[in-house]
Amino acid sequence: MSSKPDSALIIVGHGSTVNPDSSAPTFDHAEVILQSGAFGEVHCAFWKEEPSLRQVLHMVDRDDVYIVPNFISEGYFTRTVIPRELELEGPVTQKNGKHLKYCEPVGNHERMGELLLKRASEVAPGVDPADCSLLIVGHGTNLNDNSAFAAKREVDRIRELGIYGEVFNTYMEEAPLINEWDSYTTRPNVVVVPFFIADGLHSYQDIPVLLGIEQETGTAASQREIFRQNPYVLRGRTLYYASAIGTEPAFAELILAQTALFDAQTSTHTASV
Amino acid sequence: MKRNLTTAIEKWVAGGLKFVGQLSILSLPEGGYELRHAEDADKPDLDTFHSPSKARSISFFDNAGEYRPLKTAPNLQHGWRLVLKDAAELRAALDHFYPAMTAVWLSHLENALTPVALRDTLNRQTGMYAATKRLQDEEGQELVGRACAASSCTKRILWNFGPNQPLTTLEADKLPPAPHNESKPPSQMPLLCHEACNILVAACREVVKKRERAAGPPPDPSAAHPTPHPTPHAAS
Ligand code: SF4
């Protein structure tokens, strides 16, 4: 892995004013990257938490700055909000003596499928994937982002590998619905991985209720307990439920991979001009 | 690298900086620094921690365990002390307790901080926050007086309501600090708000939406111009 002691990295997350776990993976990945020495400085910035996108550039000492959105896909935030708030003019922006390099969102990286497979095998240790239905659960078609499209792309890739008995995209609000999981899966084991950047109400409460492993009255605050009780035996199957894919520690590698990809694309572009 | 915030913080503390927000900073005789809640100055039985990242978990919750989305709210939890080995760790810890505040203060000292009027922040919004463009002067001033009051947030506000339109509802302790005296660094570092935070922008939207809901639905434009299905971020 290349080291950039003279460059800074800003990881941009959405953040939340109600969910303290929203920004946690972004901070965790930043910590890992800082410890690794891959960048001279690492900072986080958020849309709904602090430091804000309007504050973060003041925090950066170095002039060479990579910006990676910690988002599951391209969308309204990566295309509109982040560029507007940071006053970016494109992939490269010169601003107050700083060279700002706007990388692709982490979820766009081609290694996302690899991470989903890692998480799926870790949550169901010793289970033969051939006897397993893998469900990647997303919110649904939301015009703010292309996460449904991105989830479908990952499922297509994983399906092609032929490792799991079957692989499905499933959604909270549209077909195939996550609450009907037992009607379209056929294998004895079912592994469910939420396609979200952070844990929160959806992964702690909404999806568990839809899956049938939690009662309606479950409080969001019971939180991580939900992941500790695997496997769940219900509806005649054995179900394994993972936490949001964005909490996967290997996400830090994908963030770095996006900065490397930015360099590779920029140098190709420069070479071809 | 034109500037070094770590060195700047080191100099401020050596020059007499003792307080940042609700924190007290102590230079330890054996080297390094100690942070604690300023109100815990004389408390003997504090839990001692040594990692700057511990500042993150402390800063996220108040005494009652409630989430603190605004880190400059005056509800920092008590009962801990954080021992940090050098200025780099001090900088990292301060960034968790008061995100960006040391950096913004340094930019302010370097005349590199440009306040943005609330109207300019609101006029830039898109999607669900585009509604804030319809905030009226009077309700906006009243909201700032409430949402940004010292009981909610300890930052001093550098921005105006609109270009050439001052804020009218805030106490003096919320307004910009007196000009900085180069020869004598302050013992308390001011926390500066150079642009409205997202919490205030979201509150502006609520004020507009509440007023518009109370006034009843606008004339239905779909009779003449069918509109696409609204989205959560559609301008409205
Ligand atoms: S706008 Fe500034 S002063 Fe008002 S609450 Fe937000 S951070 Fe505090």
**CATH code: domain of residue B71:** 3.30.1360.190
Closest protein CA for atom 4 of ligand 1: B148
B148 lines ligand 1 (CB under 6 A): yes
Measure the CA–CA gap between B50 and B83, rounded to whole angstroms.
5
B35 pairs with which residues across the strands? B25, B82
Q: What pLDDT is attached to residue A222?
A: 44
Which two tokens mark A175?
């077909």
Residue B2: HSE in the Cβ half-sphere, 13 Å Cα cutoff: 12
| Residue of A20, A56, A144 lying closest to B60 (CB–CB) | A20
Q: Is residue B231 part of a domain?
A: no
A96–B104: do the CB atoms touch at under 8 Å? Answer: no
B204 lines ligand 1 (CB under 6 A): no
Between these two residues, B25 and B172, which has the higher pLDDT value?
Answer: B25
- Domain termination residue (choose one: B55, B70, B99): B99
Measure the CA–CA gap between A73 and A145, rounded to whole angstroms.
7
Q: Residue A92 above 70 pLDDT? A: yes
Q: What pLDDT is attached to residue A221?
A: 44
Sequence-separated (6 or more) residues with CB below 8 Å from residue A93: A86, A87, A100, A102
Between these two residues, A178 and B180, which has the higher pLDDT value?
Answer: A178
A55–B69: do the CB atoms touch at under 8 Å? Answer: no
Average pLDDT estimate for B35-50: 96
**CA dist A228 to A60, A159, A224, A240, B231, Å?**
39, 27, 7, 10, 36
**Residue A73 contacts residue A67 (beta carbons within 8 Å):** no
Q: Which domain holds residue B65?
A: 5-99
A75 pairs with which residues across the strands? A145
Kindly state whether B107 is in contact with chain A, defined as any CB-CB distance less than 8 angstroms: yes
CA angle A68, B61, B142 (to 5 degrees): 85
Do B127 and B182 reside in the same domain of the chain? yes
- Domain termination residue (choose one: B64, B99, B134): B99
Mean pLDDT over all residues of chain B?
91
**CA dist A54 to A88, A251, B121, B231, Å?**
12, 25, 10, 26
- Domain termination residue (choose one: B48, B65, B99): B99
Helix (H) or strand (E) holding B123: helix B118-124
Closest residue by Cα to residue A230 from A151, A135, A122: A122
Q: Residue B36 above 60 pLDDT? A: yes
How many residue pairs from chains A and B have C-beta atoms closer than 8 A? 85
Between these two residues, B141 and A145, which has the higher pLDDT value?
Answer: B141
The Cα of A183 is separated from the nearest Cα of chain B by a number of Å equal to 30
Q: Is residue B87 part of a domain?
A: yes
Closest protein CA for atom 1 of ligand 1: B196
- What's the whole-model pTM score? 0.92
Do B20 and B63 reside in the same domain of the chain? yes
Q: What pLDDT is attached to residue B176?
A: 84
- The amino acid occupying position B183 is S
User: Which tens digits make up the pLDDT trace of B85-108?
Assistant: 999 999 999 999 999 999 999 999
Closest residue by Cα to residue B87 from B36, B25, B41: B25
User: Which tens digits make up the pLDDT trace of B55-79?
Assistant: 999 999 999 999 999 999 999 999 9
The atom number, within ligand 1, closest to the CA of B196 reads 1
Q: Between B198-214 and B137-147, two packed helices, what is the crossing angle to 10 degrees?
A: 130
A144–B60: do the CB atoms touch at under 8 Å? Answer: no
Q: Is residue B68 part of a domain?
A: yes
Q: What pLDDT is attached to residue B227?
A: 46
Most confident of A151-155, A228-232, A248-252, B132-136: B132-136
Least confident of A169-183, B30-44, B163-177, B212-226: B212-226
Do B122 and B202 reside in the same domain of the chain? yes
Q: What pLDDT is attached to residue A157?
A: 95
Q: Residue A94 above 50 pLDDT? A: yes
Q: Is residue B112 part of a domain?
A: no
Kindly state whether A84 is in contact with chain B, defined as any CB-CB distance less than 8 angstroms: yes
The atom number, within ligand 1, closest to the CA of B193 reads 2
Disruptive mutation site among A31, A35, A53, A59 for chain B (greatest number of B CBs within 10 Å): A59
Q: Residue B232 above 60 pLDDT? A: no
The atom number, within ligand 1, closest to the CA of B157 reads 3
Give φ, ψ of A261 to 5 degrees.
-65, -40
Kindly state whether A48 is in contact with chain B, defined as any CB-CB distance less than 8 angstroms: yes
Residues of chain B numbered 51-80 and touching chain A (CB < 8 Å): 53, 56, 60-61, 67, 69-72
User: Which tens digits make up the pLDDT trace of A52-89?
Assistant: 999 999 999 999 999 999 999 998 999 999 999 999 99
Burial of B162 (0-12, 13-18, 19+ CB in 10 A): middle
Mean pLDDT over all residues of chain A?
91
B100–A50: do the CB atoms touch at under 8 Å? Answer: yes
Q: Residue B229 above 50 pLDDT? A: no
Number of domains in chain B: 2
Domains and CATH numbers, chain A: 4-107+248-272 (3.40.50.1400), 108-247 (3.40.50.1400)
B147 lines ligand 1 (CB under 6 A): yes
Give φ, ψ of B173 to 5 degrees.
-75, -5
Average pLDDT estimate for B121-137: 96
Closest protein CA for atom 8 of ligand 1: B153
Q: What pLDDT is attached to residue A201?
A: 81
Which two tokens mark B56?
């993150």
Q: What pLDDT is attached to residue B1?
A: 59
A56–B113: do the CB atoms touch at under 8 Å? Answer: no
Do B148 and B92 reside in the same domain of the chain? no
Closest residue by Cα to residue A24 from A243, A259, A214: A243
What CATH number has the domain bearing residue B202?
A: 3.30.70.2320
Q: Is residue B236 part of a domain?
A: no
Could you tell me the pLDDT band of residue A143, with boundaries at 50, 70 and 90? low
Q: Residue B233 above 60 pLDDT? A: no
Q: Looking at beta carbons, which residues of chain B come within 8 Å of A97?
A: 2
Do B125 and B206 reside in the same domain of the chain? yes
Closest protein CA for atom 5 of ligand 1: B148
Do B12 and B86 reside in the same domain of the chain? yes
Measure the CA–CA gap between A194 and B23, rounded to whole angstroms.
39
